[in-house]
Amino acid sequence: MTITYKDAQGIAGMRIAGKLAAEVLDYLQPFIVPGATTNEIDRLAHVYMTEVQGCIAAPLNYTGGGNKPYPKSICTSINHQVCHGIPNDKPLKRGDILNVDITVIKDGWHGDTSRMFLVGEASIAAKRLCAITYEAMWHGIKMVKPGAHLGDIGFAIQQFAEGQGFSVVREFCGHGIGQGFHEEPQVLHYGRPGTLEKLVEGMTFTIEPMINAGRKEIKEGPEKDGWTIVTKDHSLSAQWEHTVLVTPTGYEVLTLSAGGPAIPAFAAAKT
């Protein structure tokens, strides 16, 4: 396993890229309303990333190791779509839940983050799934410090999510990130404490649990586009993502922004 450890210059670059990625989500918030299309949200994001921020949209034409090139600048996954949904012209409906996944490249460094949005007034069950998934991500983040193990992160997420009656998708995981979009290590969202890679200062990776309201099994979406993944039982799925740096004493979340949701009280003491 070849992990890249960031020096001071690399960390500075990652901080900038992470902040810019989060600010794209802030910018998009007012446009995510009933009747809007994900194609329009994608267009707005692309213009903002390229013309306002001076960034490159990392997903555009990304092949992911052999897949068809991804045709859009962001990923938009709705309701039972688990991840990698491709923006289209279908209008969003009141009550939909939407994950918007942003990855920018700024001066060669990647910033990667995703956020759930409620389209109009969502159901109590949908709001609970989104809230619990957000907390699950933070339970994983709280485990990050030098000497801890990747298995500690996965265990914390799994224990919390399953304790709330939800299931954790196994086939997709977080990943190292830096000058590469997807680097080592893989960051599983389930597991056993004290297992897998030991965390070392200077590591940067994403924590991005995908949590299903029903069973954990997934399948390729009916679109057969080579990207979209859905829950096998058609239950709702939610995901949140932050990029995290291992610091000398703990962690730093690189993808926070002014418009993001509040950090949960149990995690707010250390950010």
Note the pLDDT tens digit of each residue in 78-106. Answer: 999 999 999 999 999 999 999 999 999 99
Residue 3: inside a domain, yes or no? no
Q: Give Cα 79 to chain centroid, integer Å.
A: 16
Which pLDDT does position 271 carry in this prediction? Answer: 44
Residue 124: inside a domain, yes or no? yes
Question: What's the rounded Cα separation, in Å, for the pair 129 and 151?
Answer: 23
Question: What's the rounded Cα separation, in Å, for the pair 68 and 140?
Answer: 32
- Placement of tokens 């989060």 in the chain: 22
Find the angle CA(91)-CA(130)-CA(37) to the nearest 5 degrees.
Answer: 10
Residue 159 burial by Cβ neighbours in a 10 Å radius (0-12, 13-18, 19+): middle
Residue 163: inside a domain, yes or no? yes
Question: In this structure, how many other beta carbons lie within 10 angstroms of the beta carbon of residue 211?
Answer: 30
Question: What is the per-residue pLDDT across 182-230, written as a single tens digit (0 to 9) for each?
Answer: 999 999 999 999 999 999 999 999 999 999 999 999 999 999 899 999 9
Question: In this structure, how many other beta carbons lie within 10 angstroms of the beta carbon of residue 37?
Answer: 15
Residue 253: inside a domain, yes or no? yes
Residue 1: inside a domain, yes or no? no
Over the range 83-96, which residues count as b (16 or more CB within 10 Å of their CB) and which as e?
bbbbbbeeebeeeb
How many domains would you assign to the chain? 1
Residue 2: inside a domain, yes or no? no
DSSP state, 90? P
Q: CB pairs under 8 A, 24+ apart, for 165-168?
A: 166/129, 166/132, 166/133, 166/211, 166/212, 166/213, 167/211, 167/212, 167/214, 167/215, 167/216, 168/209, 168/210, 168/211, 168/212, 168/216
Which pLDDT does position 64 carry in this prediction? Answer: 78
* H or E element, residue 2: none
CATH of the domain at 208: 3.90.230.10
Residue 48: inside a domain, yes or no? yes
Which pLDDT does position 1 carry in this prediction? Answer: 61
φ/ψ region of 35 (left if φ > 0, alpha if ψ in -120 to 50, else beta) reads: left
CA pseudo-torsion sign 127, 256, 77, 98:
positive
- Placement of tokens 């190791």 in the chain: 65
* Domain of 87, in residue numbers: 8-268
pLDDT, tens digit only, all 271 positions of the chain: 699 999 999 999 999 999 999 999 999 999 999 999 999 999 999 999 999 999 999 999 999 776 789 999 999 999 999 999 999 999 999 999 999 999 999 999 999 999 999 999 999 999 999 999 999 999 999 999 999 999 999 999 999 999 999 999 999 999 999 999 999 999 999 999 999 999 999 999 999 999 999 999 999 999 989 999 999 999 999 999 999 999 999 999 999 999 999 999 999 865 4
Residue 205: inside a domain, yes or no? yes
